[in-house]
Structure formats: structure tokens, C-alpha cells
Structure 1
Amino acid sequence: MNNLFYTRLAIQNLKKNSAVTVPYLLTCIGSVMMYYIISSLTVNPGFARMRGGGSMAFILILGCVVMAVFSVMFLIYTNSFLVKRRKQEFGLFQVLGMGKKHLARIMAIETLLTAAVSLVSGILLGFLLYRVFALLLYRLMKLDISWDFSFVPEAAFACVKLFGVIFLVILFYNIWQVAKARPVEMLAGKQAGEREPKAPWLLAVLGVISLAAGYWIAVSTERTAMIIFAFFIAVLFVIAGTGLLFTAGSVTLLKLLKKNKGYYYQTRHFISVSGMIYRMKQNAAGLSVICLLSTAVLVMLSSTVSLYVGLDDVMRNRFKRDYVVTVYDYSDDTAAKTDGIVESALKDAGETAKGLVSYRYVSFAAVDTGDGYEVREENLADYNSLDYLFFMTLEDYNRISGQNVSLRDDQVMVLADGMRYDRDTFSIFGRRYDVAGLKGQTVEDGMDAMGSVGSLHIVLPNFSQLEEMEKKQAEAYGEAKSRPIYYVAFDAGDGKEGSARLYKDLEERLNGLGLTCRLESAAMERGSFFYLYGGLFFVGLFLGTLFVMATVLIIYYKQISEGYEDKKRFEIMQNVGLSAREIKSAIRSQMLTMFFLPLVTAAVHICFAFPMIARLLALLNLRNVGLFAVSTAGAVLLFAVFYGVIYGVTSKKYYEIVKR
């Protein structure tokens, strides 16, 4: 047998199994296309010339990494459906005298053909659609296109490397599956059912505990410093709980339904429940993957849409004033010089400061011991247990707030915004203060504007105590100490944007101070935020599309494989008198029970994750919970409609297979 024979046989096999090979091939082409596009955008030279373009490039690189990892897992996972579907075919070849080496050669040619078509078509489509996606990205970032869209060899080479390795792994996996199985086993592979599993109560209980733990972490975590770490822990618990509940919990539920005679012995329930029990391991794996992918789509869409649509809210939270000057020294001389620079720059620009705020402060992290705060350098390693403390003087507070509060030397006033503080005393560095007042509104500062939700603002009686606080934290933290700050913020011009001239003049004058300074302008930074959040929105849409594509393919394969497995069983039912109407009713009962379970579970996941995701968005300066709620509800509704369409298409295909 020559190579031409094997090639013809491989092509014939792919055509004969087009019901499963064509969707798989289209998915491979789509994955290559999307990877080429995002890789091309990543190496685009235009980002290097943008103010804040580094953030956009970094986001795209992260998107590349996520897409590469997902492509490896997803294509290998979906390939397993094809292998199981074709085991009977390979078993027949062996019975007819073809050896496993010959089968391996056929599979190698099939994989090579699939890889070649996927890479060539995917890269070509990626090149053709690259301009469309680049235009979308630039529109999201409010930019004009400033370069051509030629072919990107680096992106094509990256596709060849990544997907070449994926197809090589798939080939070895397929050959191993055939090599380890006997012809008789492969002949029965497509029809081999699972023994009826026992109700795994222990695993079901572990699943409930794991899911409950993830939900509890999501709704109970309030400490800002540990929110990111807690989020990933909650995700791990939810993933484990979802897998265990779909695997063990679903079997346990079906067993309980089977014991319910009134429910189980109805025709449509009898067929669907008995069928699902015997294939629960396969169903559970597919359903849990569908659920997790659906959850990922909902999280990405709701959060990235909220960030992009709520950019004005983000800017208001991040920049309390049009201009913010931060000087890392708060001596009287520095404060006077800084005030003079601001005044003269405004005068030269012909503008007047509005809402000017200036004060001195020091801020640092400390561990809440329950009886007070502890400040030690080794505590910095335990980031999740730290609170952020912000100290200012009573004189500055009264001037800013317009109040006339008085404090004794042993008293402080606590401004707790986003944190609970219900104590009568405040202790730090071995000194205990009486809390004379507790207010919910903090004074604006740079750290608060950047999303340090839950910080404590402490008003000290006088400047000497502020200096003492700064010296003690410097002694405690050594090189990791915080530096004292003189803070000036104001609006200028129309109250929304200041002129580039004023910004440049301020920047030049502040550089002449000889001190470390930071100048921020809402007008100058707005473009950077569009790059950042527009990039996040783009990557969210991009990865969301990939995950939706994966969800559709898994659902399709799941229903196709179940249809073929149920075909003979329903033929028997027809032979004993079951009508076509009863068959369709049974199919609807089974699919409604199991098909929408992942969607409902994903919606429940989102509901419990909502408080934690809202806090994560607050770290990115989006504190409009109402906007996030609307975005989440819209994402769930839109995805549910799409999910219903997929249900209609796949149920029709399933019914066609069963009726043949």
C-alpha cells in the first residue's frame, strides 16, 4: 500500500465523518485566525508611540497567553469526542486486516491535512480580518489609524509554532488511544455504555462544601488588600465544586428521582432519567465545562462592558480634580514653594484655580491586631492582612472641610470610608488615643483616588504628632518606609479639562524644585484610560467570542454523541410501541433537564460572585454598582437567548439522529 492510498483513505475518512470533522476543522481555523489577529496587534509598532500604549500592549500579551493556554486545552478536549466517535471505524479496519502501524499512518495524514488547512486558512482569514479588528480596537480607544496593515510574519510564525505543537500532541494522543485498545473494544467503543454508577454521596457532599466555601469567600471578603487573592481562591473552590456537583451531585439527584415512583414511571421521565444515569460521567464532564465557560463569558462581558461604558465614572473617581500635584516632602519651605509654583503657573496661563485643596500627610500600611495597629517591616510580607492608614493634621482638616473641630493631644478623629471602625480608641506605636469623632467621609487623596477602598484617615491634633508618626514608621520600615507628602489639587479652566500649556508649565516648574514630584491631569491621562479600558473591553470581547465558540462546539458534540448512543435504545422503544410524539417528549424532558442546567448554574455563580467582582472593579476606579448590575443582567439575558438558539438547533439535530 503506497502513500497515495493512505492519503485517499484519510481524505475519504474525513469526508465520511463530516458531521463531526467539519465543525472541528472550522473551530481550528477560527482559533488560528483569532490567534493570528491578537498576535499581530500585540507586535504592532503603533502602540510604542502612544502615551499609555504600553498598557494596551501588556493587555494584548495577556490575551495572547490566555488564548494559547485555552487553545491547547480546548482542541485536545474536543478531539477526544472525535476519537470516541471513530473507534468503531478503526476497529473495523483492523478486523479487515489493517495493522496499527497503518492506522497510525492514516491518522498522521489526517492530522497533517487538518493542520495544513487550519493554519493556511486561519492565517489567511486572520490577515484579511486583521484590519477589521484593528479598526474596532482603535475605535474603542478613540484613536485614528496611523499605520498600514501588512502581513505580520511574526504572528504567522507564532501560529505555526503553537498549533503545530497542539496538532502533534493530538496525533500522539490518537495513536495511543488506538494502540492500547483491542479491535473488539474499538468496535464497541462508540456503543460502550457506562455501568450504572452508585450514588457518590461523599463526593456530592464535598461538592456542596466546596461550592459553599467559594460562595462564602465571594460574599464575605471585605478587606481590600486581600480581594485579588481571595478571588482566585474562590474561583478554585467554585471550579472544584462545580465539577463534583455535576459528576456526583447529578448522579445522586437522578438516583433520588428514580426512587420517586410517581415521577420516574412517566414515559418521558423514565427514558431520560435512565439514559442519563448510564452516561453520567461523560455528561457531567461536558456539562461542567459548559457551565464554567458560560460563567467565564458572563464575567468577562459584564465587567469589561461596565469598565468601558463607565469610563466617565472611572475618571471622576480617579481624578478628584483637574490637576493633582504630589510632592514627596512636606516641610514648610517645600509647601510654600509648591504653592508659589501653582499660583504663578495659573497666572501665566490666565486661569484661576477652583476648588483648590492642599495639605500635608503621611500614609503607610499596618496590621490590625484587634486592639490596635502594629507596624513592623516583616508585616509587609503579609499583604493580605494589612490596612492602609492615612494621617493628616487637624488644622488642614478644618481648613479643607470648613469645620471647627477641636481635639486634645490624646484624641484623634477617624474618617472611615469603606471600612468598619467601631472602637472607642485608636492605638499605634505603643500610644493609645481616644476617638473623639467618627465620620464616614474621607478627605480626597491620591491613594483613595486610585482605589484604595477601605483606608482609614486619621486626623491628628497637631503637626508635631504627624512628624512623630512619620519618623516612627520610617524607623519601623527602614528602606520600605513611606515618604511624607504635600498634596495640592485644583480645577482650572472649564472645570473639566485643563490646557496642555498649563500642564507643561507646571511640569517644568516642579522639576526645578529638585524634589521627587508627580503631576497628574485628567485631560492628559484620559487617553491612557481609553487605551487601558478600551483594550480590556476588546480582549474581553475577543476571548468571550472564543469561549462562546468553544461552548457551541462542546454542546454540539455532546448532543451528536448522545444522539448516536440513544439511537438504538429509541429504536427498541419504537419497536415496543413508543410513538414519535412520546419519543420527542422524552427528548425534550432530557434536554431541558440537563441542557439548561449549566446556564442556570452559571447564573447562580454570577449572582454570588457579584459582590466580589464589584469590589475588584472598585480597585479599577469603577464604583458604579448600578451600572455593573445592569451590565451583568444584560450579559445574562443576551447569553440566555443565544443559549436558547443553540438548544433549538442541537435538539433538532439530536432528534434527526434518533429518528433515522
Structure 2
Amino acid sequence: MMLFKLSVKNMKKSFKDYAIYFVTLILGVGIFYVFNSLDSQQTMKVLSSSTYDIIELMVQMLSGMSVFISFILGFLIVYANNFLIKRRKKEFGVYMTLGMGKGQISRILLGETVIIGLVSLAVGLVLGIFGAQFMSLLVVKMFGGVMDGYQFVFSSKAFVKTICYFAIMFAIVAVFNVVSISKCRLIRLLSARKENEQVKMKNPLLCFVIFLLAAADLGIQYYRVCHPDSLNQQDVGWIILAGCLGTFFLFWSLSGFLLNIMQRSRKFYLRDLNAFVLRQIHSKVNTMVFAMTVICLMLFVTICVLAGGLGLNYNFQKMLGEMTPADVNYAVYYGDGENERPDADKVLSDLYEEKKGELFASDAVQMTIYESEELTVAETIGKDRFTVAGMVEFSAEEMPEDIVKVSDYNRLAGMYGLSKLEVPEGTYAIVCDYEVFEKIRNPLLKEGKTITLNGKTYTPAYEKCQYGFFEMMPNHANSGFVVLPDDSVQESWKSEEFLAANYQADSKQEREEKEKLAAALETEELAFVSKIEIVEVSGGLSATVTFMAIYLGIIFLISSAALLALKELSESSDNKERYEMLRKIGADEALIHRALFRQIAIFFFLPLLVALIHSVFGMTFIKIMLESMGKIGSYASILATAGILIGIYGGYFLLTYFGSKRIIRNV
């Protein structure tokens, strides 16, 4: 009981020292609960069955990711606890001098670990339970549901999972503490404050050469990710490895020659306390090269994941609105041989006439899609261009191009809100919305690429592809179809009959009711695609990616900031005597605090600066690889990511500064 009381007393006395540790644990517990309780929230009751399935998939993926997240948080807790143990070595030495055994000290630490665990779990779970209610509203908004009323929901499953995961983590910490104390010797504990980390001086010239090589390595990898046409999966792995090594040697070399360069500018080096600050930074970077590399890479992943995930969702939702201008599409293929259906046009026209007024509005458009063996992808793009495409591969070069009459397309464009085309006799136009193919087709159109059909040659009506499509899709995937003058199209080329229609409905509820009737009309011959189906499934998958990005990104950001904060607080505690020496030689408090602020700022923002440079090229690579899903970047996602970075990373920076300022005052 006495040892437990001592643990409680120590916790009260050191509460301010443990503040960042507590904040990190509380945030970790809260976030863990929020993202693992989504399937229990009220949102599940107001969403459609297909969206419910998407959320169930999302919850399963988040549960799998939670295992990975728990390892990250576990490493963070052990790492943070290691710093706290180091700070208290002299205290433990005093305990042993007074006759206390290592087992008793271990029990004190065990008591403190239990207290920290219980308090952080309790506060974190309360924060998570209330935070989950706000997350519920966000899920409804992202998945397009409507809540009739609010109901407070508690997830016992997420509650138990959170307690179990964090209990295991703290059990590991307790074992780590016992092992650490068992290895300690009294003389080392009592002299711990006087021991300095061994700093090996490096050859400045060698470090400068390594710096140039590291910068060249990173430059090469930046170039490669911005030109991924010839890359394969194995190349991407080597790029990541080379980037990690380049980052490591960048920090390693900076620690060897940066101070030497600064010392050459005597006017700057000897101003205020710059000499003290630079030597402190030199020592820290020199002894934390690996940690700085890991933190930098974690920040890089955080920025890419957050900006990419948020940007993808924002633009995907916007794109879904553009790509679903009608309520429903139907298609019937004419086929060939045994599967020939010569009455395909009549099937759709009869269907529409029968259901018009009851199911469909009067603004429907029916059109015919044609194909000719004379006009293939290899013919319009050219064989050389086709093979150079790199990122785009087809199973057959002889795949026929779709052909549409200009009058049919203009009627559909009027319904879809797209620009109408003018295609004079003897010309053709290409309608395309897939950026990868636009880059291939546009140079050919500008050069005046001709096509030949039935002995007649056609020249481009436009010097570039015209934006548009006929079939609704979840993303820009129309690789292009040919629009010809009506008289140039032969009826024997018929391939598919297509219908775009809107429901006879004025509200969302009515559209959902009509959707069930329209879906029931689908058969093996009659293909059916609807706006509601595309938005629910594809929008749900986009939202899933966004939630996973936010979950992973915030955990990585908290971990990076906490590692830096705990290291800096530990350094401030170790350097209290140095700051007291500055006071004795005449430095005032304002000068000391300014020096402290500068060194913490450099220590925090150096890895962030490198991570931001990495992120510019990382986001470029992501944008290129996901080009068909729309433009990934957006000002909204960049601002949201910046807000999260400033809020969490900046918050840890300020907490670290004020905590360090308090520590150096209490000498």
C-alpha cells in the first residue's frame, strides 16, 4: 500500500511532466474507439442496404488497420516511457540508497503504469464515445443518408476492443520497466545526470560529399516518380528504399557539416545565443539521425495519405455529380450469330413507351452505337502510339472504336448538359474524358490524323478531343468514341442500342422507390446502370478510402509529434544546468526563451520541411497513377491537411515549448 501511495504521489508531482504523454494516450484511445465503433452508430439505420454493405467492408478494413495502428501506438508508448525512465534515474538511485530494492522500485513503476493506463483509458474512452457521435453525422453526410432524429449510441464492441488492445500495450510497458530497472546499477543511476550522449565528430568534407550524393539520389527518385510510364511494381519498391536511404544520409550528413558552415559566418554565429542554439541542434541531430529519418518518413506518409485521401474524396464526389447527369441508363446489344438481336432498338423503345409517365419522365434519349471492322483503336491511335502509351494496355490492338451519329450525340449532350458538336461532311470528332487517352489522341488530331471508312477519308473537325461520354460511370473512363455526320454512318454497323432516362419523381424518396421498379426490369439482354447505384457504391468506396486515410494519417502525425516532443522535453530536463549557466553569465530570460524557442522550432520543423518536399513529388506520383479517378489535388484538401498539421503538430510544438520553458526555470 505504501508503494502504491508513493506511485500516486509521484504521479501528482510529475503530472506536468507527463502532460504530453497523457495527451497522446488520450488522443490515441479516443481515435481508436471512434473508428472502431462506426458499425454500431445510428448511421447504419438510415443508409441503404448497398451503402450498409460498403460500411461493413470499411469497418472490416479499419479493424484490420487497427492491428497495425496498435503496433504504432505500442511502439510510441514504449519509446515515450523509455524517455520518462531516463529522466528519473537519479530518483531511482536515491530510492536504492535509502534501502529500497529493485523489486520495490519496479512495483512503484507498475503502480504508475496502472494509474496512467486507467486514467488515459477512462478519459480517452469518454472523449471517443462523444467523438463517435460527431463521426456518425459525418458518415451520414458522406454516404448521402438522412437522419430523422438523433440517438446517442454506445458501442460495447469498440469499448471492449479498445480496452483489450491498450491493456496489452501497457502490460508490455510494465514488463519493459521491470527489465530496465533490473539492469540498472546504483552508480550509473546516481551519475545519470552527469552522463552525456557520445557525440562522434564527423569529417565535414566527407559529410558534404555524402550530402551531395544523398541530394542527387533523392533528385533521381523525384524524377522517376514524376515519369512513371516505364515503372513496374518492383521499381516502385526500389524507389521507396532509395528514398529512405537518401533521407537517412541527408540527416546524417547535415549533422556533420551544418555547424561548420554556420561557424564561418562569425557575425551570425556570435549573435545573441546562436552559438548555443546551433551546438544544441548539432548534438541532437547527430544523435538522432535514425529517429529523425523515421519521423520525417512518417510525416511524409501522413501528408500524402491525408492530402491524397481528402483530395480523392472531394474530387470523386464532384466527379460523381458530373458523371451521373441522368437517373438511369439501359443498353441492349445487337449481338451476332446465335445471340443476334435485330430488334434491339424496338426493345428499348417499347420499354420506354410502356413505362413513360409511370416510371420515366418525357426527356429520355435513345441512340444507336455503331462499330466497324475498318475502324479500330490501332487505326485511330496508330500502332506506335498505342505501344508507347505505357500506363494503358489493351488485350487486343484490333478493338473496334465506338461510332455515334452527330445528331444522336447532340440530343444526348443536351440532356446531359454537355457541349454540342459541329461535324461537317467529310470530318469526324473524338469525344473523350479520360485524360490518359486525351494525351495520346490530341497530338494526332492536331497533326490532322485521317481515318478511312468504306473508301471515304475523314479529317478531324477539332484539333483536340471534345469532353463528353454517353454511358454513366463512376469515373472518367471514356477512352474515346468517334462522332460522324449522320449520312456517313451505315445501319449495318449497329452494335448497341442505348437509352438515357430520368425518373418521374420530385423527391429523393420517390427516386428510390422508382429505382426498385427500374432495377426489376433488368434481364440478361437488358443491361441496367443507375445514378443511385453508382453514387452509393463508388461514393461509398471513396468515403472508405478517406476514413482510412484520416485514421492512419492522424495516428502517424500524433506519433511523430509525440516522439519529437518527448525527446525535446527530455533534452530540456538534461540541459537545465546549461541554461542556469547562461543566466549566470548574464543572459536575460527573454534571450534564453528565444534561444529555446528557436532550437525547438528547428528540431520540429527540419523533418517537416524535408517531408513536405518529399510530399510534393509523392502527390505528383499518386495523381498520375490515379489519373482515371480524377484530379487528386484540390485547394480544399490542401487546406484541410494544413489545418490538421497546424492543429496537431503545431499544438505539440507549443506544448513542448511551454513545457520546456517551465522545466528550465525549475533548476
Counterpart residue number, 2:51: 52
Q: Confirm or deny that 1:155 pairs with 2:158.
A: yes
Residue identity in the other structure for 1:562: E
Q: Confirm or deny that 1:343 pairs with 2:352.
A: yes
Q: Secondary structure at the match of 1:386?
A: coil
What count of residue pairs does the alignment treat as equivalent?
616
Counterpart residue number, 1:216: 223
The 5 A counterparts of 1:376-387 are: 386=393
C-alpha distance after superposition, 1:266-290 (max 9, x if no partner): 3422111112222224554555555
C-alpha distance after superposition, 1:365-388 (max 9, x if no partner): 99x9984768xxxxxxxx967358
Counterpart residue number, 1:193: 197
C-alpha distance after superposition, 1:177-206 (max 9, x if no partner): 334444433444455323144254576456
CA contact (8 A) 1:88 1:187 kept: yes
CA contact (8 A) 1:302 1:635 kept: yes
For 1:365 and 1:23, the matched residues in 2 are separated by 61
Counterpart residue number, 1:440: 465
Residues 188 and 459 of structure 1: is their aligned pair in 2 closer, same or farther, counting only changes over 3 Å?
farther
For 1:655 and 1:145, the matched residues in 2 are separated by 51
Counterpart residue number, 2:415: none
How many Å apart are 1:293 and its aligned residue?
4.9
C-alpha distance after superposition, 1:32-59 (max 9, x if no partner): 2322232221355648853322222333
Residue identity in the other structure for 2:84: L
Residue identity in the other structure for 1:20: D
Counterpart residue number, 1:572: 581
For 2:502 and 2:235, the matched residues in 1 are separated by 38
Q: Secondary structure at the match of 1:333?
A: coil
Counterpart residue number, 2:115: 113
For 1:23 and 1:111, the matched residues in 2 are separated by 15
Residues 457 and 442 of structure 1: is their aligned pair in 2 closer, same or farther, counting only changes over 3 Å?
farther
Residue identity in the other structure for 2:469: E
Counterpart residue number, 2:84: 82
For 2:66 and 2:253, the matched residues in 1 are separated by 30
For 2:129 and 2:404, the matched residues in 1 are separated by 63
Equivalent in 3, 8, 19 of residue 6 of structure 1 = 3
Q: Confirm or deny that 1:166 pairs with 2:177.
A: no
Q: Secondary structure at the match of 2:37?
A: helix
CA contact (8 A) 2:328 2:529 kept: yes
Counterpart residue number, 1:379: none
Counterpart residue number, 1:472: none
Q: Confirm or deny that 1:403 pairs with 2:423.
A: yes
Q: Secondary structure at the match of 2:436?
A: coil
Q: Confirm or deny that 1:522 pairs with 2:531.
A: yes
CA contact (8 A) 2:306 2:550 kept: yes
How many Å apart are 1:569 and its aligned residue?
1.8
For 2:371 and 2:243, the matched residues in 1 are separated by 42
Please identify, of 34-43 and 115-124, the stretch whose mean Cα deviation from structure 2 is larger: 115-124
CA contact (8 A) 2:323 2:472 kept: no
CA contact (8 A) 1:201 1:248 kept: yes
For 1:84 and 1:256, the matched residues in 2 are separated by 33
Residues 632 and 154 of structure 1: is their aligned pair in 2 closer, same or farther, counting only changes over 3 Å?
same
Q: Secondary structure at the match of 1:601?
A: helix
RMSD across aligned positions (CA): 4.8
Q: Secondary structure at the match of 2:273?
A: helix
Counterpart residue number, 1:656: 662
How many Å apart are 1:335 and its aligned residue?
3.3
CA contact (8 A) 2:332 2:497 kept: yes
Residues 640 and 120 of structure 1: is their aligned pair in 2 closer, same or farther, counting only changes over 3 Å?
closer
Counterpart residue number, 2:251: 246
C-alpha distance after superposition, 1:523-554 (max 9, x if no partner): 45445566455555555555555455445533
Equivalent in 313, 321, 328 of residue 318 of structure 2 = 313
- Percent sequence identity is 19
For 1:154 and 1:113, the matched residues in 2 are separated by 24
For 1:537 and 1:551, the matched residues in 2 are separated by 21
Q: Secondary structure at the match of 1:519?
A: strand
For 1:357 and 1:20, the matched residues in 2 are separated by 73
The 5 A counterparts of 1:344-363 are: 344-345=353-354, 347-349=356-358, 351-354=361-364, 356-359=366-369
CA contact (8 A) 1:53 1:528 kept: no
CA contact (8 A) 1:213 1:234 kept: no
Counterpart residue number, 1:607: 616
Residue identity in the other structure for 1:658: I
Q: Secondary structure at the match of 2:199?
A: coil
Residue identity in the other structure for 1:510: E
Counterpart residue number, 2:569: 560
Counterpart residue number, 1:631: 637
Equivalent in 272, 279, 282 of residue 277 of structure 2 = 272
For 2:177 and 2:213, the matched residues in 1 are separated by 34
C-alpha distance after superposition, 1:132-190 (max 9, x if no partner): 43234334444216895454332222123322222232233333333444443344445
Residues 635 and 150 of structure 1: is their aligned pair in 2 closer, same or farther, counting only changes over 3 Å?
closer
For 1:77 and 1:337, the matched residues in 2 are separated by 72
Residues 564 and 245 of structure 1: is their aligned pair in 2 closer, same or farther, counting only changes over 3 Å?
same
Equivalent in 577, 583, 589 of residue 592 of structure 2 = 583
Q: Secondary structure at the match of 2:329?
A: strand
Equivalent in 176, 180, 192 of residue 177 of structure 1 = 180
Please identify, of 29-38 and 201-210, the stretch whose mean Cα deviation from structure 2 is larger: 201-210
Residue identity in the other structure for 1:519: F
Unpaired runs of 5+ residues, structure 2, are: 410-420, 450-456
Residue identity in the other structure for 1:168: A
Residues 640 and 105 of structure 1: is their aligned pair in 2 closer, same or farther, counting only changes over 3 Å?
closer
Q: Secondary structure at the match of 1:18?
A: coil
Using structure 2 for the length normalisation, give the TM-score: 0.75
Residues 604 and 447 of structure 1: is their aligned pair in 2 closer, same or farther, counting only changes over 3 Å?
farther
Please identify, of 458-467 and 581-590, the stretch whose mean Cα deviation from structure 2 is larger: 458-467
CA contact (8 A) 1:33 1:122 kept: yes
Please identify, of 91-100 and 153-162, the stretch whose mean Cα deviation from structure 2 is larger: 91-100
Q: Secondary structure at the match of 2:400?
A: strand
Q: Secondary structure at the match of 1:573?
A: helix
Counterpart residue number, 1:137: 139
Residue identity in the other structure for 1:193: E
Q: Secondary structure at the match of 1:444?
A: coil
C-alpha distance after superposition, 1:314-341 (max 9, x if no partner): 2234325432234577455373355335
Q: Confirm or deny that 1:418 pairs with 2:421.
A: no
For 1:639 and 1:13, the matched residues in 2 are separated by 33
Unpaired runs of 5+ residues, structure 1, are: 375-382, 427-433, 468-483
Please identify, of 532-541 and 273-282, the stretch whose mean Cα deviation from structure 2 is larger: 532-541
Using structure 1 for the length normalisation, give the TM-score: 0.75
Please identify, of 555-564 and 293-302, the stretch whose mean Cα deviation from structure 2 is larger: 293-302
For 2:431 and 2:537, the matched residues in 1 are separated by 35
Residue identity in the other structure for 1:83: I
Residue identity in the other structure for 1:352: S
Residues 340 and 436 of structure 1: is their aligned pair in 2 closer, same or farther, counting only changes over 3 Å?
same
Counterpart residue number, 1:28: 25
Residues 356 and 174 of structure 1: is their aligned pair in 2 closer, same or farther, counting only changes over 3 Å?
farther
CA contact (8 A) 1:231 1:612 kept: no
Residue identity in the other structure for 2:4: T
